[in-house]
């Protein structure tokens, strides 16, 4: 099959394209819905446009028996949204996915699928970057995910700060736009993930959050979020203080009591432990203290331990 030009002016590439996307941990304690950290464990996707109107989807690895194998597959849905943004959709798509990121554990598996799908769509269009900029991609990913923190880290890698801006379109309607910037991460910082067997839906975890918090709690979280930028960049010794949170974690205790109990136990031992995203996984950030970290799994009954590097690159 040769490259095919469509009426919109887009030219679809005939060859298969591939992308790998890292896991991500959002919030990092005080940075609710804003901070993200990419972790060096990757889902891998390969896709090709088809001349016939069909979706040929094959998934292996994590959650393979649970995810959709048709047009409702999240990678496919994201690809179609990307093609729509660029101006034309192919008649069909072949997708192969190898999933490694645990599902429903607060490690950004859906963000990986969304970012992977958008990157694949852009890569399958000749000069796709002209039709979908990086900023466009983050906006579309935020639209699909509902919040920008995980998708930003999955796309850019490293640490990121993401936010929502209100934009007025040509018809005068307000629209929410996802934005993100990359942060420097000290090369000494690593992550220990403690992953339980049970899953937790992000939507369920969000319903437990209060509408209002005290001014004192808001001030603490604001100061810790600011400090977290500096701690991640060059002062790992400040990570314990910088990851203190009073905004969201404790309110979710009823949905994941073992997770919050573990976080409290580890923080009681002076470790920078946080709930990873909406949970129920726990992430411990550390630098140059492997001997102490090696003792942590024995304190985390019912959790599988995984040491991970911070992913320096995002989708690639």
- Residue written as token pair 């969000």: 206
CA distance 305 to 170: 50
Please give the helix or strand (H or E) that residue 27 lies within, else none. Answer: none
- Residue written as token pair 């930028």: 229
User: Could you read off the pLDDT of 126-159 as tens digits, one per residue?
Assistant: 999 999 999 999 999 999 999 999 999 999 999 9
Best CA proximity match to 35, nearest among 260, 245, 208: 245
Q: Residue 174: what pLDDT?
A: 81
More confident residue, 246 or 175: 246
Query: pTM to 2 decimals?
Result: 0.94
C-beta neighbour count of 267 within 10 angstroms: 17
Contact 49, 175 (CB under 8 A): no
Q: The tokens of 153 are what?
A: 């880290």
SS3 category, 19: strand
Please give the helix or strand (H or E) that residue 312 lies within, else none. Answer: none
CB neighbour burial string for 42-68, b if at least 16 within 10 angstroms, e if fewer: bbbbbbbbbeeeebebebeebbeeebe
- Residue written as token pair 């934009």: 167
How long, in residues, is the chain? 316
C-beta neighbour count of 201 within 10 angstroms: 11
**Alpha helix segments (H runs only) across the chain:** 74-86, 109-123, 134-145, 149-156, 202-206, 215-234, 239-242, 257-268, 290-293
* Alpha carbon separation from 218 to 68, 205, 214, 231, 246 (Å, rounded): 40, 20, 6, 20, 8
Query: Which pLDDT band, with edges at 50, 70 and 90, does 1 fall under?
Result: very low
Q: The tokens of 88 are what?
A: 């034309």
Contact 15, 230 (CB under 8 A): no
- pLDDT at residue 208 tops 70: yes
User: Peptide bond preceding 280: is omega within 30 degrees of 0, i.e. cis?
Assistant: yes
User: Could you read off the pLDDT of 36-69 as tens digits, one per residue?
Assistant: 999 999 999 999 999 999 999 999 999 999 999 9
Please state, for a pLDDT cut of 70, what percent of the chain lies above it. Answer: 97
Looking at residue 298, what DSSP letter applies?
A: G
* Alpha carbon separation from 299 to 211, 258, 268, 294 (Å, rounded): 34, 12, 12, 10
- pLDDT at residue 291 tops 70: yes
SS3 category, 44: strand
Q: Residue 8: what pLDDT?
A: 66
Q: Residue 205: what pLDDT?
A: 75
What phi and psi, each to the nearest 5 degrees, are found at residue 18? -130, 155
């Amino acid at each position: 099959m040769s490259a095919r030009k469509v009426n919109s002016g887009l030219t679809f590439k005939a060859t298969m394209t591939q992308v790998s996307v890292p896991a991500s941990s959002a919030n990092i304690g005080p940075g609710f819905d804003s901070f993200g950290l990419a972790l060096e464990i990757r889902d891998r996707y390969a896709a090709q446009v088809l001349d016939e109107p069909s979706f040929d989807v094959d998934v292996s690895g994590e959650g393979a028996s649970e995810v959709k194998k048709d047009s409702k597959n999240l990678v496919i849905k994201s690809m179609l949204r990307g093609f729509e943004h660029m101006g034309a959709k192919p008649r069909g798509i072949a997708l192969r996915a190898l999933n490694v990121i645990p599902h429903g554990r607060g490690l950004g598996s859906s963000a990986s699928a969304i970012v992977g799908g958008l990157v694949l769509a852009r890569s399958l269009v000749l000069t796709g970057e002209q039709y979908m900029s990086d900023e466009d991609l983050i906006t579309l990913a935020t639209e699909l995910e509902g919040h920008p923190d995980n998708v930003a880290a999955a796309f850019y890698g490293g640490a990121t700060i993401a936010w929502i801006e209100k934009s007025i379109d040509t018809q005068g309607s307000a629209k929410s736009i996802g934005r993100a910037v990359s942060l420097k991460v000290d090369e000494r910082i690593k992550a220990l993930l403690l992953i339980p067997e049970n899953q937790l839906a992000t939507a369920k975890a969000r319903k437990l959050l209060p509408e209002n918090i005290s001014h004192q709690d808001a001030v603490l979280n604001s100061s810790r979020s600011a400090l977290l930028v500096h701690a991640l960049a060059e002062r790992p010794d400040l990570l314990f203080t910088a990851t203190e949170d009073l905004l969201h974690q404790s309110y979710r205790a009823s949905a994941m009591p073992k997770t919050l109990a573990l976080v409290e136990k580890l923080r009681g031992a002076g470790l920078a432990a946080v709930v990873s995203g909406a949970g129920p996984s726990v992430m411990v950030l550390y630098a140059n203290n492997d001997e102490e970290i090696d003792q942590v799994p024995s304190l985390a009954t019912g959790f599988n331990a995984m040491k991970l590097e911070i992913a320096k690159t995002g989708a690639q």
